[in-house]
Amino acid sequence: MAPKQDYIKKMELRKQRKIDAGVVSERFPRISNMIIHMTYFHDAENSVLMERTVNIFPTSTADFNMECMIRGCDNGGFNLNPLISTLIKQNKKLAKGSMKCKGKLENHSSTHANISYEINIKYNKQSSI
């Protein structure tokens, strides 16, 4: 496939995934706001690649699959979806941890990228269900 077509296909897949995921207010109605802070590391001497903070609102897409920032990484990324679902189920407000990218990248070791994350969740006060 030509690179451009490949790119368009990827964008369409991403769009579809967002539609499938729905919005936060539907999937997680108890969330009033959530902050995901991530530090991206890569396999290099100066290992911090970037820092990123994502603010999640009830109107945001309920898809917390973060992309791998390394160019050419195939099928990689950091899927925070299972973790966030679990946190919400357990009424947890804070989570910290790290995750490795499992994507494949030519000429790179399997540890080409990882993140450390901190997730802060705020719940709606009125819902004491």
Interface ranges with Zn ion (CB under 5 A): 68, 70, 73, 76, 101, 103, 113
Distance in Å, CB of 4 to Zn ion, minimum:
22
Structure tokens at 124: 């709606």
Distance in Å, CB of 51 to Zn ion, minimum:
17
What is the identity of the amino acid at 55?
Answer: N
Distance in Å, CB of 37 to Zn ion, minimum:
19
Residue closer to Zn ion by CB (options 30, 42) is: 42
* Nearest position to Zn ion, beta carbon: 76
**10 Å Cβ neighbour count for 27?**
15
**10 Å Cβ neighbour count for 22?**
13
Q: Are the C-beta atoms of residues 88 and 56 closer than 8 Å to each other?
A: no
Residue closer to Zn ion by CB (options 43, 118) is: 43
Beta bridge partners of 97: 117
